Amino acid sequence: MKTGRKRGILFIFTTVMKALSAIVWPITGFLFDLLANLYPLFTIIGTIAGAAHVTFAIRKKQGEKEEKKSWPIIESSVGEIRQAVRIYSDQLPKGVYRTILVKDDHSIDLEQLAPILKGIPAQKFYMSKETYDIFAENEKDLAITLDKVQRAVDHYVKEFKEYPVLPFDPSNRVNYYQLLKAHCLDAEPEIELYITNYDGLVTHKQPEKNSTMMKT
C-alpha cells in the first residue's frame, strides 16, 4: 500500500515538473532573447547619458569662467589690496594662510579678491610670503628680496641665537656681511633692510625710534 502511494506521488511530482519545464524554459529563453535584443539600446542610452554628463560639466566650467570674466576691470591702490587681503585672510579656515593667494612669481591671485574688491585690478600686485608686505608692480623685486633676506635672518638666528645687526646701530640694519659669512645669503641685496620688534621681521622701511626698533 505504502509503496503504491509513493509511486503515485512520484508520478504526480514528475508530471508537474515536466509541465513547469515546458512553460518556464520557453519563457526564460524569450527573456534572454529580449535582453540580447535590448542590449544595444541600453548601450545607446548609456552613451547618450554619458555624453550629456560631459556636456553639462563642460558648460558648467565655461559658466564659471564666464562668471570670473564678468568682473569689471578697476583701479586699485596698495592700501585697498592690503585691506582686501586682510578680509580674505579672516575668512580662511584655521590653519590656512593668506600666502595661498601668492603665485610662484610672488604676484597676488587677484581673481580670488574680486568678490571683495568688486572687480579685478588692472595692474598686478605682489606679496612677500614671509612678511606679507604688499607692493605694486614697480616694486615687485622688494617682495622677492624680503623673502630671501627674511629666510637668511631666520636661519642665522636659529644657528647663532642672535640677530645679524651691527652693535649699537640704532636703526637695526641687517648686517649682510654676517649673513654672507655664515653662508645664509648668497648675494648682498642692493637695498638696506631692517629688523623690527615684530618677531624679528625684516622690513624695507627704516623703523622709527622707540617704536618698532628691535631691542638689543
**What is the mean pLDDT of the segment spanning 192-215?**
78
Question: Which pLDDT score, from 0 to 100, does residue 29 have?
Answer: 56
Instruction: Say whether pLDDT at 32 is over 80.
Output: no
Question: Which pLDDT score, from 0 to 100, does residue 38 have?
Answer: 53
Instruction: Say whether pLDDT at 60 is over 60.
Output: no
23 exposure class (CB count in 10 Å sphere: 0-12, 13-18, 19+) = exposed
Yes or no: say if 104 and 47 are a contact pair by the CB < 8 Å rule. Answer: no
- Per the listing, cell 524554459 goes with 25
Calculate the average pLDDT of the chain.
79
- Per the listing, cell 637695498 goes with 191
The span from the CA of 193 to the CA of 169, in Å, is 13
Tell me the pLDDT tens digit for each residue of 143-201: 999 999 999 999 999 999 999 998 888 899 999 999 999 999 999 999 999 998 878 89
What are the residue ranges spanned by the domains of the chain? 1-70, 71-127, 138-216
Instruction: Say whether pLDDT at 49 is over 50.
Output: no
Question: Which pLDDT score, from 0 to 100, does residue 207 have?
Answer: 72
Strand partners, 194: 173, 203
Residue type, 147: D
Joined grid coordinates for residue 196: 623690527
Instruction: Say whether pLDDT at 212 is over 70.
Output: no
Tell me the pLDDT tens digit for each residue of 81-136: 999 999 999 999 998 999 999 999 999 999 999 999 999 999 999 999 999 999 99
Transcribe 153-212 into DSSP letters: HHHHHHHHSS-SB-TT-TT-BB-HHHHHHTTS-SS--SS--EEBTTTT-EESSPPPTTTT
Cβ atoms within 10 A of the Cβ of 210, count? Answer: 6
Tell me the pLDDT tens digit for each residue of 124-136: 999 999 999 999 9
Tell me the pLDDT tens digit for each residue of 61-85: 555 554 555 899 999 999 999 999 9
Question: Which pLDDT score, from 0 to 100, does residue 199 have?
Answer: 82
| pTM, full prediction | 0.64
Instruction: Say whether pLDDT at 58 is over 80.
Output: no
